[in-house]
Amino acid sequence: MSIEIRHLSKQFGTFAALRDVNLEIQSGELLALLGPSGSGKTTLLRVIAGLETADSGQVLFNNEDTTRQSIRDRQVGFVFQHYALFRNMTIFENVAFGLRVRPKDCRLKDAEIRERVTNLLQLVQLDWLADRYPHQLSGGQRQRIALARALAVEPKVLLLDEPFGALDAKVRKELRIWLRRLHDDMHITSVFVTHDQEEALEVSDRVVVMNEGRIEQIGTPDAVYEQPANPFVYEFLGHVNLFHGRIHRGRAIISDIEIEAPEHAEAENLAAIAYVRPHDIEIDRVTNGESALAAHIVHIVSIGPIVRLELAHDDSSNKNLVQVEISKDRFRELQLTKGDRVYIKPRRLELFPSHASANSIH
């Protein structure tokens, strides 16, 4: 089922949770709503579910306006951050709940309910917990049961509100992969909310980056990561280094170095901020004639196959530390140690005229 959101706005007192949000979600898609807390992503999800009503705007399911539809008729599955399992029921009864509360004339027979619930419990690999109560399960198990419960009623849309937010890192990673696989098997239109950019990039087909009640960018994980639409998205998605400089007739000038910036050909001596990802910085012990920034190493952290270096500019007027990520092989080749002097040069950078970053997260 496709979902279309038109001009949605929602106000909580004086706080604007959603400001004129427009979004189209394709049928069978797995979409991530990504943003910092207070960005409106959960509100948007709850409006889609029908748990909140928007002040203005429409939500369309398959081109049909749902504004006047009750929650019960929307046929959505919802997974809560804190699971919201029914504490007074066994796991089996939790999953069976949606089937048991149907009106008598369209309710399945007991044997059919039993079969479907058993299948679902097998799907989430927890059929051996059927007779337990929610409080006897671990967080990861509870969330899988919550998912099975949501799927039991065969929803047309699956909505997940920070589904892995309350879990520890390892379980989170496992469940993430598992959710992706499940979605690939079932192809149910799914929307999930997260503030974890890694999660959004890893799991979803498309990412919607939200901030202060607005959508900042919509795109595939690659697109939002590689071509951020604005400084906010750049800073929110992954580590980033900030350099202050100028753009002048298609060239970016950052202290001693000059880099081609053809997309800013008409700029005349404009102040700009350059964003550079830690892995997009070249590092060497010598300058091979080209212009480069001089710096020295203040900190070395080795994380698996990657080594993260923190560098301080030699130019003491610039107090910002530069983060650089290089492969372990390159690190060994250069034989770097703390305090060493090095030369760095951005390989790729994204330039934004300074005024554009006025409302960035800094």
Partner 1 sequence: MTTITISYPDKARRTAITQEPVWVRRTLISLALIFLALFLFVPLISVFYEALKKGVDVYFAAITEPDARAAIRLTLIAAAIAVPLNLIFGVAAAWAIAKFEFRGKNILTTLIDLPFSVSPIIAGLIYVLVFGLQGWLGPWLAEHDIKIIFAVPGIVLATVFVTVPFIARELIPLMQAQGTEEEEAAVILGASGWQTFWRITLPNIKWGLLYGVILCNARAMGEFGAVSVVSGHIRGQTNTLPLHVEILYNEYNYAAAFAVASLLALLALITLAIKTFVESKVTQQKTKE
Q: Which ranges of the chain does DSSP label H, i.e. alpha helix?
A: 41-49, 71-74, 91-100, 110-123, 139-152, 169-186, 197-203, 221-226, 231-236, 328-334
Min. distance of Cβ 202 from partner 1 in angstroms?
27
88 binding partner 1? (CB under 8 A) = yes
Q: Judged by CB under 8 A, how many residues of this single chain contact partner 1?
A: 26
134 residue type, one letter: P
Q: Of the candidates 4, 55, 114, 133, which one interacts with partner 1 according to CB under 8 A?
A: 133
101 binding partner 1? (CB under 8 A) = yes
Sorted by sequence, the CB contacts under 8 Å of residue 76 that are 6+ apart come out as 48, 49, 50, 155, 156, 157, 158, 159
How far is residue 344 CA from its own chain's centroid?
Answer: 30
Sorted by sequence, the CB contacts under 8 Å of residue 274 that are 6+ apart come out as 242, 243, 244, 245, 252, 254, 346, 349, 350, 351
Q: Of the candidates 102, 296, 332, 355, which one interacts with partner 1 according to CB under 8 A?
A: 102
Strands 189-194 and 30-34, how do they pair? Answer: parallel
What count of Cα atoms within 13 Å lies in the side-chain half-sphere of residue 314? 13
- The interface region with partner 1, picked from 21-29, 93-101, 264-272, 273-281 by CB under 8 A, is 93-101
Min. distance of Cβ 130 from partner 1 in angstroms?
18
Q: Which residue lies nearer to partner 1 by CB, 51 or 270?
A: 51
Site string for partner 1, 19-58 (x = CB under 8 A): ------------------------------xxx-------
332 binding partner 1? (CB under 8 A) = no
82 binding partner 1? (CB under 8 A) = yes
108 binding partner 1? (CB under 8 A) = no
Q: Of the candidates 84, 166, 294, 306, which one interacts with partner 1 according to CB under 8 A?
A: 84
71 binding partner 1? (CB under 8 A) = yes
355 binding partner 1? (CB under 8 A) = no
**Residues across the chain:** 362
76 residue type, one letter: V
107 binding partner 1? (CB under 8 A) = no
Min. distance of Cβ 204 from partner 1 in angstroms?
22
Q: Of the candidates 87, 244, 328, 355, which one interacts with partner 1 according to CB under 8 A?
A: 87
At 95 the three-state DSSP class reads helix
| Spatial separation of the C-alpha atoms in residues 299 and 40, rounded to whole Å | 37
Q: Of the candidates 10, 116, 149, 345, which one interacts with partner 1 according to CB under 8 A?
A: 149
- The interface region with partner 1, picked from 147-155, 273-281, 305-313, 322-330 by CB under 8 A, is 147-155
Q: Which residue lies nearer to partner 1 by CB, 94 or 194?
A: 94
Given the structure tokens 């004086």, which residue do they identify?
Answer: 14
Closest to 321 (Cα-Cα) out of 330, 310, 331: 310
Q: Which residue lies nearer to partner 1 by CB, 158 or 261?
A: 158
134 binding partner 1? (CB under 8 A) = yes
The pair of three-digit structure tokens given for residue 124, joined into one six-digit string: 């989430």
The pair of three-digit structure tokens given for residue 32, joined into one six-digit string: 């991530």
Q: Residues in the site for partner 1, rule: CB under 8 A?
A: 49-51, 71-72, 76-78, 80, 82, 84-88, 97-98, 101-102, 133-135, 149-150, 152-153
